[in-house]
Amino acid sequence: MKFVAMIYGSREKWRAIPAADWATEIAKQEAFNARYRATGELIAAYGLADAAMAKLVRRENGLPVVTDGPYIEAKEHIASFYLFDVDSPERAREIAADMPWADVDPVELWPVMHGMAEDV
């Protein structure tokens, strides 16, 4: 079973982390990533750029039309996402709860309903 875990962030949240703590926080995240890569359960993990870099793309008359994003005005935005392949929903929840900041901010966990064919 595949699950996507999403972490939300904001400029204010990142600014609240003392500069002296950044290396420690990054190391915690890298240790988490290494632990679950080693079990084969972490398929991918990506941090996203600041929301100011997001763009909205739609098609008009067959051509792309690009505007600034994100679509929803929100205090927080998706900061990173993880793709897990686990044996059960319970295991996905265990891993999400093990994320370094899960005691401070919730991790949004979504089951993946389908994906592209493996041979594409």
Residue 71: the pLDDT is: 64
Q: What is the pLDDT of residues 13-27, one digit of tens each?
A: 888 889 999 899 899
**CB 5 within 8 Å of CB 108:** yes
- What's the token pair of residue 37? 């890569």
- What's the token pair of residue 4? 């996507």
Residue 100: the pLDDT is: 92
The CA distance from 78 to 7, in Å, is 6
Would you say how long the chain is, in residues? 120
Domains along the chain with CATH numbers: 2-49+75-111 (3.30.70.1060)
Q: Which residues of the chain have pLDDT under 70?
A: 70-74, 118-120
Residue 118: the pLDDT is: 67
Distances (CA, A) of 44 to 18, 97, 103: 28, 17, 22
Q: Give percent above pLDDT 70 in the chain.
A: 92
The CA distance from 56 to 54, in Å, is 7
